[in-house]
Structure 1
């Protein structure tokens, strides 16, 4: 049902679809969902609600959406993936253990676009204990809120923070604390964030395998930037700025397969691949 002109969904519209596992209502003209929108969808695993103008017209937040989802089951849902990217809501709120099986959460392009930033209201990190993939790209969120988000998700394997306006200061100032709990992180995407150097945070992830730093403003790579990251298999540094590097910069990356260095105006390799 993606990409149509749907502006209203009747109560019980999906009541006969008891075996439905995936529902995509994105890119329609929905502005409101009732308490009974998802009633009887006990087997729903993937829900996509992209680009809804408002979820609750009065408060411009998401509680009504989650209230509808909660109606799927008396205690919790079986959802594995929730995509509410591209919405303008001000508050992401989960105040009960209704997503015990959730593994993927997409919030990219979300938050109020004109003033303020999106708030995170998940008082118990146990509620999202199984989320392993998180997309916060292009999100309108303060440094403090983003720190709260990352500290509450201990099971992340895949983290996407492309083009996040606060990220330059965030990584420099708060990354040591905020990323400390991510013991399983394997994929970190930090493209298009105006970073001028490789963040120290990346040195704290011995499990890290894929790192994307493309489209930043990194001008120099040092020997310590990727030291001891022996599990690296993919590294993307293309589309930075007048990059130069020391000869020892890649010495520990023996497992590296793709290495993207294009469009960097590199003048010399300085024995980096000896």
Structure 2
């Protein structure tokens, strides 16, 4: 394994007429030049001073970090001296404006970080010379308006971070050139609709803490793997609008209705802290999290549904009764969480169709009656939680062997 060689150049440029630059080099030998990394750190600089820096291109990777500086405006060709750098970090420098051509000459740039600044708009063609860029971080600015051609030329961009701005809408034309985009972050914006457009490579989208009320976009043509829309105002969700996923996160919304449960092809589904009153289990879901909803009963599972389900979390709902028919078809279920509901009776053989169940949480219900052996068939049960009910733990011990009771 090659060791990573790091060359650090710390550049302190005074702001008086006798500006000087001192350098400190610390080079760790490496067996291959391709493993070397040069980090150039400039402090207390202006954009004009950067043009005076004596930069030498290297055959290995180089990064430029601007720190402890105040640069309100990036002028044309601000970084023309740094043609060989792959990473440019411009966080928290008070940046308010990017002029056309500011990034000209950065022929190898892959990562551009502009987070924590004071940008309010993105002009047309602001990044059109950055054809090699992979990652663009614009998070935590004050961006409210993005012009249609702001991202033109970014044909190789794979990650776009727009979190923590003041964006209310994202026109579909914004993304026309972003054919390689894989990850899109747009959380913490006053968005009212989801970003629209064709995303042929999009794998992950995160939309948290917004004003989105409806699922207005169909992502079935994208190879989406991770979809997260939490802490927003979503009132209903149609599973037909998303393709096969690994993870679907819709927590802390106002969802009352979920359409087409049966079309949901997803490993992990989380819908906790919503207003859902009923649910179905699709054939391919492995984990289903529905705690803190308004569910009052568990309906019969249709044939073939729930055949892969391993975890079902229904804590903090309003379920008052469970029967043996509540868990039909769930033969692979390992973890069942029913804590903080209103269950009063455990009927005989109620869990008989759950042969692989390992953990059962019935704590903090209103259980006062335990009929003859409700745990019949639970051959692998390892942990049973029953505290906070109206019967003693000892009343359960005669029905379960080699099981921890809490």
TM bin (shorter chain): 0.5 to 0.7
Specify every segment of 5 or more residues in structure 2 that has no aligned partner in the other structure, as ranges: 1-114, 116-137, 279-293, 402-406
2:161/2:185 contact within 8 Å kept: yes
1:134 aligns with 2:226: no
1:225 aligns with 2:350: yes
Inter-partner Cα distance in structure 2 for 1:94 and 1:134:
15
Which of 67, 82, 86 matches 2:205? 82
Q: Which has the higher helix share?
A: 1
Per-residue Cα deviation, 1:170-223 (whole angstroms, up to 9, x for no partner): 6648x4477964443322222221222337543332232222222322233233
1:222/1:246 contact within 8 Å kept: yes
Paired position in structure 2 for 1:238 = 363
1:233/1:258 contact within 8 Å kept: yes
Alignment of 1:52-201 (within 5 A): 52-55=189-192, 61-62=193-194, 65-67=195-197, 70=198, 72=199, 76-79=200-203, 81-95=204-218, 97-99=220-222, 101-111=223-233, 117-118=235-236, 120=238, 125=240, 128-142=242-256, 145-146=257-258, 148-153=259-264, 155-167=265-277, 172=297, 175-176=299-300, 181-198=305-322, 200-201=325-326
Alpha-carbon deviation of 1:54? 2.6
Inter-partner Cα distance in structure 2 for 1:269 and 1:106:
43
Which is bigger in relative contact order (C-alpha 8 A, separation at least 6)? 1
Q: Which has the higher strand share?
A: 2
Q: CA RMSD in A?
A: 3.8
Distance 1:242 1:119, change over 3 A: closer
Alpha-carbon deviation of 1:132? 4.2
1:151/1:179 contact within 8 Å kept: no
State the TM-score, normalizing by the size of structure 2: 0.49
Distance 1:197 1:130, change over 3 A: same
SS at match of 2:389: coil
1:267 aligns with 2:353: no
Inter-partner Cα distance in structure 2 for 1:135 and 1:249:
33
1:4 aligns with 2:140: yes
SS at match of 2:357: coil
Distance 1:29 1:202, change over 3 A: farther
Q: Which of the pair has more CA radius of gyration? A: 2
1:198/1:218 contact within 8 Å kept: yes
SS at match of 1:93: coil
2:353/2:377 contact within 8 Å kept: yes
State the TM-score, normalizing by the size of structure 1: 0.68
Specify every segment of 5 or more residues in structure 1 that has no aligned partner in the other structure, as ranges: 56-60
The number of equivalent residue pairs is 245
Distance 1:137 1:257, change over 3 A: farther
Inter-partner Cα distance in structure 1 for 2:302 and 2:232:
21
Distance 1:244 1:38, change over 3 A: farther
Distance 1:261 1:177, change over 3 A: closer
